[in-house]
Amino acid sequence: MSTETLTATHTHQDEHAHHEHHEPSFIRKYVFSTDHKMISKQFLITGIIMGCLGMLMSLLFRIQLAWPDESFGFLESLLGKWAKGGKIDPNYYMALVTIHGTIMVFYVLTAGLSGTFSNLLIPLQVGARDMASPFMNMLSYWFFFASSVVLLSSFAVETGPASSGWTVYPPLSALQKAMPGSGLGTTLWLVAIILFIVSALLGGINYIVTVLNMRTKGMSMNRLPLTIWAFLLTACLGLLSFPVLLGAGLFLIFDRSFGTSFYLSDIYLNGIGAMTNSGGSPIMYQHLFWFLGHPEVYIILLPALGITSEVIATNARKPIFGYSAMVISLLSIAVLSFIVWGHHMFITGMNPFLGTVFMYVTLIIAVPSAVKTFNYLATLWKGNIRFTPAMMFAIGLVSFFISGGLTGIYLGNAALDVQLHDSYFVVAHFHLVMGSAAIFGMFSGIYHWFPKMFGRMMNNTLGSIHFWLTFASAYMVFFPMHFMGLAGVPRRYYQFSLIPEFGIWMNVNIFITVSAFLGGAAQLLFLYNFFRSIFKGKPATQNPWESNTLEWSAPIKHLHGNWPGDIPAVYRGPHEYSRPDRDLDYFPQHEVGNGEPVHYEAPAETQKTYASDNKDSATKVFFSSFAHLFLLKKA
Amino acid sequence: MSSSTIQNNTTPKEFSPKTVIIWLLIVASTMLFLAFCSAYFVHQGDGLRNNAWLKFDLPFEFWLSAGIVLISSFFMQMAYRAAQKDDIYKIPSLLTITLICGIAFCISQFYGWLNLMDRGLFLSNKEPAEISASFVYVISAAHFAHIIGGLILLTVGIARASKLQIHKKNLVFINICKTYWHFLGILWILLLLFLYFA
């Protein structure tokens, strides 16, 4: 039996192959690495750290919500002047809410999720040696890291971090003296977000180019795993929407520091007097912000849906139901996400006709979302299901996607939204459909691709306990909030005990807080399992989940360039499970008919070079160039 | 196993990854300017309704900038053509002329802002109607920042061309320079027309 050698021109990829045996220094390998696999680990670890901090903040403000009139000595020990007498300061409470939202939306569920898995899986699943620009990829991580440091440094500021909500609406964010957090804290927030946008753009551009330009032989678009489709569309969403947030942020910086009035007009500050700003409109900020803000929901959700598609197909041992429908649904969601931002602004006094348009296009998103949900269920139906932790988290995502998605239909309706806006109903909705669903997708991905990332297995029993505790606590925290919201309980309030009408919800708040602590404890279990498994987990086998996709054909030990020899070619789609003509219930993408892998060779393109023949210095060439230009000399 | 034939579902190779990267950066930049322009429209609509929108003549220097950018694009294109024809010794000088035009563009922009200030139109507005001037400053400054990026790219291009690394078989970098520089030129002309007619 012979292995066929095919020729193809893969010059970009083979540039990396030459470096396979070159051992980089410690700094180049672990710190300023350009290897996509290492960068994915960097994104993941940073994302986990940010996630822990974000969750800790939520537990702190949940204590305030559950026991608003009590004092806790440990809070003063932990927060110092911001919790004098053991009670969180109202401004600091707002800061915690703000930074919790910012961290979870941008740093965990955007960079932590998309950054980790796009980096890990795009080159490995499309069959590329690395990203199109490994250097840009490295920059992407370090901009993200710098952004994280700048954001967290705002906790060291005397006036505290930004505290006008994660959306940092003006005028609170535009006037430096509006509230304590509006000063340096908001400046740092803006710097952090601009760094984050640069990171997201560098990463996103790389993801798109790698998928479009660097797929291996045979990897046509209709053979791409759904993870890659999701990452590709996510990157497109980021590419088109983050620059708009950058524009919004720049206007805000100009208003804060250069005396412009893009968002400000006719403001009177208590204790200071009338501001000179005139002619601006804070509503314009909302338009610009939500033009990013709504696609951001799908920037968070689509990667989780892609991961879920892959995990469900693998662990149900069935082809994904309706591959084309899944791709079309992803595309539809991505396109629609750009024309629905107004549903976040129904109460800003927009023209009712415009509101109606936004309402209808919002409700249309339910169609592709439902297609995805039914396809997940149809894939599970009569599957030979393996209840791995990854699979359980993927099924958990489907559950949250349904329960959170249904309340989205309520909120998309302008007439209902006017009542429910800024209430706990909204908090419940987006924490289920965006927060919990995406976090579950992220956990699913971690459990599934941990062997690929670290060459070891995570503990399944601990993983299962982690799932059940997290699943139960997420519903226990967010489900009751729907009823609070329907009763008119507003979000972002500091002390409900001051409002007698909301007294009946005090016990519910205690229940939610205790549930949140249960969820927090479950994450300690995950952290133990994760970090212990990195060092002491059972060694992974080549293809532990018997999966079809290309990443499992790469060696367990990471190589720069991914494959030791030639890149495997691809012969079929990613979901050929349980084929009746096969003994094995899976059929890897890179195997030919009888299971023999075929490789192709990609010779480096020979290019004419002048540099090696050139005897003249660059300076001489530079000056003689002008002589050539003005025809004094012939080439 | 006998030799098998692989279905030729090849990856598109017409564009190098670096060329696609620059196009995607252009898309991102375009979105930024679209955000600025749509914000301009929103403010203008509000301003006109409230009789608080100042119409003023754009500085002459901005129009001069448009001329300079057109000339620079011409030389950029000549540099690219020289590379295509393997006329490699002309490339550094043509790129240098493009760079000089770019610097001249920056200087004319600077004088344009001085012109605005001489007329009492500043970045910060005292009257609601003067917010139109704030927009002109921000939009032109954002374009200026892009030009600085272009000048850095051109400088690297000149260095590479001087080392004879740009030639007929290696057009990727000069193609990137050309694409980005033409984009900046077209963008400035479109912005200028937008500010003039809007």
CA A9, distance to chain mean position in Å, is: 34
The verdict on residue B89 lying in a domain is yes
- What is the per-residue pLDDT for B155? 97
- What is the per-residue pLDDT for A565? 87
- What is the per-residue pLDDT for B15? 73
Query: Structure pTM?
Result: 0.90
The verdict on residue A619 lying in a domain is no
Total structural domains in chain A?
A: 1
Contact A288 B35 (CB under 8 A): yes
- What is the per-residue pLDDT for A599? 46
Total structural domains in chain B?
A: 1
Which range is least confidently modeled, A115-119, A262-266, A308-312, A412-416?
Answer: A262-266
Burial grade of B69 (CB within 10 A; 0-12, 13-18, 19 or more): buried
* 8 Å CB contact between B83 and B157: no
- What is the per-residue pLDDT for A610? 61
Kindly report the backbone phi and psi dihedral angles of residue A139, in degrees, each rounded to the nearest multiple of 5, phi listed first.
-60, -40
Q: Residue A490: beta bridge partners?
A: A423
Kindly report the backbone phi and psi dihedral angles of residue B146, in degrees, each rounded to the nearest multiple of 5, phi listed first.
-65, -35
Structure confidence at residue B184 as a pLDDT band (50, 70, 90) = very high
The verdict on residue A631 lying in a domain is no
What span, in angstroms and rounded, lies between the C-alpha atoms of B112 and B191? 15
What are A150-162's pLDDT values in tens digits? 999 999 999 999 9
What span, in angstroms and rounded, lies between the C-alpha atoms of A364 and A367? 6
The verdict on residue B4 lying in a domain is no
Residues 6+ apart with CB under 8 A from A384: A316, A317, A318, A578, A585
- What is the per-residue pLDDT for A594? 57
What span, in angstroms and rounded, lies between the C-alpha atoms of A607 and A242? 38
Number of continuous H segments (helices) and E segments (strands) in chain B: 5, 0
The verdict on residue B131 lying in a domain is yes
What does pLDDT average to over chain A? 91
Task: Assign 3-class secondary structure to A416-471.
Answer: HHHHHCCEHHHHHHHHHHHHHHHHHHHHHHHHHHHHHHHCECCCHHHHHHHHHHHH
Chain B residues within 8 A of A628 when measuring between CB atoms: 87, 89-90, 93
Chain B residues within 8 A of A136 when measuring between CB atoms: 21
The verdict on residue B11 lying in a domain is no
Structure confidence at residue B128 as a pLDDT band (50, 70, 90) = confident
| Whether residue A18 has pLDDT greater than 70 | no
Provide the residue range defining the domain that includes A514: 35-536
What span, in angstroms and rounded, lies between the C-alpha atoms of A370 and A374? 6
- Buried b or exposed e, range A571-587, using 16+ CB within 10 angstroms: bbbbbbbeeeeeeeebb
What integer is the mean pLDDT of B7-36?
80
- What is the per-residue pLDDT for A29? 85
Provide the residue range defining the domain that includes B133: 17-41+58-197
The verdict on residue B34 lying in a domain is yes
Kindly report the backbone phi and psi dihedral angles of residue A25, in degrees, each rounded to the nearest multiple of 5, phi listed first.
-70, 170
What integer is the mean pLDDT of A52-79?
96
List the structure tokens of A509.
């708040």
The verdict on residue A623 lying in a domain is no
The verdict on residue A140 lying in a domain is yes
What span, in angstroms and rounded, lies between the C-alpha atoms of A311 and A300? 18
The verdict on residue B161 lying in a domain is yes
Chain B residues within 8 A of A258 when measuring between CB atoms: 123-124
Distance in Å, alpha carbon of B58 to nearest chain A alpha carbon: 19
List the structure tokens of A99.
């930074």
CA-based nearest residue to A88, from A126, A61, A125: A61
- What is the per-residue pLDDT for A231? 97
B24, B93, B129: residue with CB nearest A239: B24
Which amino acid is it at A240? L
- What is the per-residue pLDDT for B133? 95
What does pLDDT average to over chain B? 91
| Whether residue A582 has pLDDT greater than 50 | yes
The verdict on residue B3 lying in a domain is no
What are A191-231's pLDDT values in tens digits? 999 999 999 999 999 999 999 999 999 999 999 999 999 99
What integer is the mean pLDDT of A395-405?
96
DSSP B39: H
The verdict on residue A228 lying in a domain is yes
Structure confidence at residue B11 as a pLDDT band (50, 70, 90) = very low
Pairing assessment for the beta strands A599-601 and A5-7 based on DSSP bridges: parallel
What integer is the mean pLDDT of A426-443?
97
Interface residue B32 vs chain A (CB under 8 A): yes
What span, in angstroms and rounded, lies between the C-alpha atoms of A191 and A212? 32
**Chain B stretch 7-26, residues whose beta carbon is closer than 8 A to a beta carbon of chain A:** 7-13, 15-18, 20-21, 24-25
| Whether residue A604 has pLDDT greater than 50 | no
Q: What is the CATH number of the domain that holds B151?
A: 1.20.120.80
Q: What is the CATH number of the domain that holds A215?
A: 1.20.210.10
The verdict on residue A64 lying in a domain is yes
The verdict on residue A148 lying in a domain is yes
Query: Given the structure tokens 């969820």, which residue do they identify?
Result: A519
What are B81-96's pLDDT values in tens digits? 999 999 999 999 999 9
- What is the per-residue pLDDT for A634? 54
What span, in angstroms and rounded, lies between the C-alpha atoms of A88 and A69? 10
The verdict on residue B7 lying in a domain is no
Structure confidence at residue A253 as a pLDDT band (50, 70, 90) = very high
